[in-house]
Amino acid sequence: MSKQKICNRCALPAAFPGIRFNEAGVCNFCQGFKGAGGEATKKAEYRLKFESLIDQYRGDSTYDALMCYSGGKDSTYTLSILKEQYGLNILAVTVDNGFISEQASRNIRVVVENLGVDHIYYKPRFDVLAKIFRHCASNDIYSRKSLERASGICTSCMAIVKYSTLRMALEKDIPLIVYGWSPGQSPVTSSIIKNNPGIVKMMQKSLYDPLYRVAGNDIRPYFLEDKHFGDTFRFPYYIHPLAFLGYDEETAYKSIARLSWKPPGDTDANSTNCLLNSFANMMHKRRLGFHPYVYELSNLVRGGYLDRDIALARLAQSENPEIISKVKRKLEIEAD
C-alpha cells in the first residue's frame, strides 16, 4: 500500500476506483473540484434553512431533535452546539455495537450530564452484530460505490444506527434527526434532507437485503417495517450541522474539553469512540488496497479543513495489534 502513487493535492491513491492522474500528478477528483469559493454562500443559506426549521418545529413534540450520539468528538461537538447555541430539547441516542471504548463510554456519560440532555443506550443483540461483522470482514456485501466511502463493517453498523434511530424518531414523533458528520462526510448541499417514505424505503432496502442474507429475521427490530411507511408517521428531517456551521478540529477539541470530554487513548487515529474501526480499516485495506477513510479525508483536504500531511500521516498509521487481537477475540475470529 505504501508504495502506491498518491495524488499531489489530496490523499487519494492509485488503487482508488476510477482515479486518473494528469502529468502534474493531480487526480481527476481534484481537477473536478470547483474550489471553496461558493461554499461560504451555500453555508449561510443552509444555516438559515436550519434556523427556520428550528423555529418551525421547536416545542412541537416532546423532543425537538434526536441526536445520533456516538460519543466521538464530532458528535459531541454537534450535540453541544444544539444544546448551548440553539437551546434545543434533545434526545441523544447511542447505539452500542459492543466496541465502544471505555473512555468513550465515560465521555458519553459525563457529556450528557454536563449538557443536561436525555440519553438512551440502544444495544442490539451482540450475537447478531458479531455474525454480521464477521461476515463483512471477509466478504463484500454492498455495492463497490459504498465501499469507496466506508468499510463494509462500518456500513453495516451505520445501517443499524441509521434505521433503528429513524424508527425511534418516528415512534416518538421527533421532527429532526441530527448527525455529527464532518464536512468531508457530508457536503453542504446534502446537509439538510427532507425524508419521504418512498425514498427511505428504497434506501433501506439497499442495506436491509444484504444484511438479511447474512443474519435473517434477527435484524428486523433495527429497521422500519411496513407499518412505518403508512400515513400514521411523520418523517423527520436529517440534519448535519457541521457541514454548514463550519468545522475546525482544534476548535472542536477545545470546545468539548469544557464538558470534560477526554480523547480516548485506545482507538485509532480516525475514530474517537470505536474499537472495531481499526479492525474494519485493516480488513478493508487488505482487500481493496485503499483506506476506507481516504475519500472523507481527501474531501477535507480539498475543502481546506485539514492539512494534507496530517491526512497522510493518519492514513499511514498502522493498526494497534492489541486492539486488533481484542476485536478478533470478541468476534471469535481466528488469528491469521
Q: Which parts of this chain interact with Zn ion (CB under 5 A)?
A: 7, 9-10, 12, 27, 30
Residue 30 beta carbon to Zn ion: minimum distance, rounded to whole angstroms: 3
- Rounded CA separation 136/114 (Å): 37
Residue 39 beta carbon to Zn ion: minimum distance, rounded to whole angstroms: 18
Looking at beta carbons only, is 7 or 170 nearer to Zn ion?
7
Please give the grid coordinates belonging to residue 77: 461537538
Q: Is 21 helix (H, G, I), strand (E, B) or coil?
A: strand
Strands (E), the chain: 65-68, 90-95, 118-122, 176-178, 192-194, 237-239
Contacts (Cβ under 8 Å, ≥6 apart) of 187? 243, 299
Please give the grid coordinates belonging to residue 105: 463510554
Residue 47 beta carbon to Zn ion: minimum distance, rounded to whole angstroms: 28
Angle formed by the axes of helices 276-288 and 152-171, nearest 10°: 130
Looking at beta carbons only, is 176 or 315 nearer to Zn ion?
315
Angle formed by the axes of helices 126-138 and 321-331, nearest 10°: 120
User: Which residue's C-beta sits nearest to Zn ion?
Assistant: 7
User: Does residue 123 contact residue 96 with C-beta atoms inside 8 Å?
Assistant: yes
User: Does residue 208 contact residue 141 with C-beta atoms inside 8 Å?
Assistant: no
Q: How many CB atoms lie within 10 A of CB 90?
A: 25
Looking at beta carbons only, is 16 or 279 nearer to Zn ion?
16
Looking at beta carbons only, is 28 or 105 nearer to Zn ion?
28
Residue 33 beta carbon to Zn ion: minimum distance, rounded to whole angstroms: 8
Residue 169 beta carbon to Zn ion: minimum distance, rounded to whole angstroms: 37
Looking at beta carbons only, is 10 or 67 nearer to Zn ion?
10
Q: In 167-184, which positions are buried (b, 16+ CB within 10 angstroms) versus exposed (e)?
A: bbbbeeebbbbbbbbbbb
Looking at beta carbons only, is 26 or 203 nearer to Zn ion?
26
Residue 140 beta carbon to Zn ion: minimum distance, rounded to whole angstroms: 24
Looking at beta carbons only, is 136 or 297 nearer to Zn ion?
297
Looking at beta carbons only, is 5 or 234 nearer to Zn ion?
5
How many residues would you count in the chain?
336
Residue 201 beta carbon to Zn ion: minimum distance, rounded to whole angstroms: 36
Please give the grid coordinates belonging to residue 33: 473540484
Q: How many CB atoms lie within 10 A of CB 132?
A: 25
- Rounded CA separation 219/225 (Å): 11
Contacts (Cβ under 8 Å, ≥6 apart) of 3? none
Looking at beta carbons only, is 6 or 214 nearer to Zn ion?
6
Residue 301 beta carbon to Zn ion: minimum distance, rounded to whole angstroms: 8
Residue 309 beta carbon to Zn ion: minimum distance, rounded to whole angstroms: 15
The residue among 160, 154, 173, 132 whose CA lies nearest residue 223 is: 160
Q: What single letter denotes the amino acid at residue 160? A: I
